[in-house]
């Protein structure tokens, strides 16, 4: 019996990571603690999270993960492809673009908090154009995962094509930019953080208590046609809904020490996608496992290097 397929369409970047005791102020020069390079990009990170969430390091995968994207004809691109293949990811639909550099992300991590600031240079990621996705890559997947580090017009085209072919889509609208309203109609899974949710919904909080503000955001996306709406809240857990006017809260998983939050959101998306694609249980159960995976991620440095394998995740619902 063939494995369910998760197709991740998105960005591949090389991360240039500087760790510093604190963020510099405008115009200020400070001495940092360390510098390193690593594999990243929201698309690639989520593909790695899918692959590792589907199995223990030396075990058989429960899903087939296919990455669709573009890199440059350079050493960064070669390293990205090799790293993805090492995680068992299908890279046959990643194109090498002549005359383009591989995308890069300059990441500053504040050691005292684990928080980060990121500057992205798109490079070859902008090679992915809408005309390439009038028909989606075969074979038909159980789920398509999208982010917004490739051209927005391309994401919109993929969502529309997926609807025509009746393929469920998980959209992680990050970094958040305005999207046409029809993209949410029938969207199976909308996963975003609190800032992205507020920006895209245009629901202002004002003096509203957090729970009331979140309720209005959920209702706004339901009015636009989204089916499952998930808002990650960092240390405050996750707010989610699949019925209009009724939303729920899942507490955050315990974290020993926050070291680096860079890949937490991407790990959550990948782990959640695996649970959905393999039909193992409810949305709440999928969120619980994704929470646990993200908690393990923030305890380590780096992006893809911090993403845990399935056996590293302590599953609080007892389904390891």
Residues involved in catalysis:
266
DSSP sequence for 50-101: HHHHTS-TTS--SSEEEEEEEEESSHHHHHHHHHHHHTT-EEEEEEEETT-P
Contact 241, 229 (CB under 8 A): yes
- CB-CB neighbours of 232 under 10 Å: 27
| Long-range pairs of 191-199 with CB within 8 A, sequence gap ≥ 24 | 191/230, 191/232, 191/268, 191/269, 191/272, 192/230, 192/231, 192/232, 193/231, 193/232, 193/233, 193/234, 193/265, 194/231, 194/232, 194/233, 194/234, 197/231
What is the distance between the alpha carbons of residues 118 and 175, in angstroms, rounded to a whole number?
11
The answer to whether the CB of 38 falls within 8 A of the CB of 118 is no
**Residue 48, Cβ neighbours under 10 Å: how many?**
30
Name the one residue in this structure whose structure tokens are 């397929």.
Answer: 5
The CA distance from 176 to 266, in Å, is 14
Judge contact between 101 and 122, C-beta under 8 A: no
47 contacts 159 by C-beta, under 8 angstroms: no
């Amino acid at each position: 019996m063939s494995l369910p397929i998760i197709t991740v369409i998105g960005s591949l970047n090389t991360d240039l990571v500087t760790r510093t005791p604190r963020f510099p102020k405008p115009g200020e020069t400070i001495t940092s603690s360390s510098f390193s390079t690593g594999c990243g990009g929201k698309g690639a990170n989520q593909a790695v999270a899918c692959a590792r969430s589907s199995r223990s390091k030396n075990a058989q995968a429960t899903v087939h993960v296919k990455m669709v994207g573009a890199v440059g004809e350079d050493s960064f691109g070669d390293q990205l492809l090799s790293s993805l293949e090492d995680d068992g990811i299908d890279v046959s639909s990643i194109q090498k673009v002549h005359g383009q550099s591989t995308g890069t992300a300059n990441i500053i991590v504040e050691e005292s908090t684990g928080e980060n600031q990121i500057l992205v240079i798109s490079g070859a990621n902008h090679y992915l154009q809408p005309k390439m996705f009038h028909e989606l890559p075969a074979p038909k997947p159980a789920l398509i995962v999208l982010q917004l580090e490739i051209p927005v017009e391309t994401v919109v085209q993929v969502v529309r094509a997926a609807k025509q072919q009746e393929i469920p889509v998980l959209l992680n609208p990050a970094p958040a930019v305005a999207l046409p309203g029809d993209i949410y109609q029938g969207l199976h899974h909308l996963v975003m953080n609190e800032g992205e949710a507020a920006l895209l919904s245009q629901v202002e909080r004002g003096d509203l208590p957090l729970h009331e503000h979140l309720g209005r955001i959920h209702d706004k996306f339901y009015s636009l046609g989204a089916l499952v709406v998930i808002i990650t809240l960092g240390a405050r857990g996750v707010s989610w809904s699949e019925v209009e006017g009724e939303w729920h809260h899942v507490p955050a998983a315990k974290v020993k020490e926050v070291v680096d939050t860079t890949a937490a959101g991407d790990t959550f998306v990948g782990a959640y996608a695996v649970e959905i694609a393999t039909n193992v249980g409810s949305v709440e159960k999928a969120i619980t496992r994704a929470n646990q995976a993200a908690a393990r991620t923030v305890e380590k440095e780096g992006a893809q290097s911090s993403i845990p394998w399935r056996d590293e995740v302590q599953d609080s619902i007892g389904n390891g």
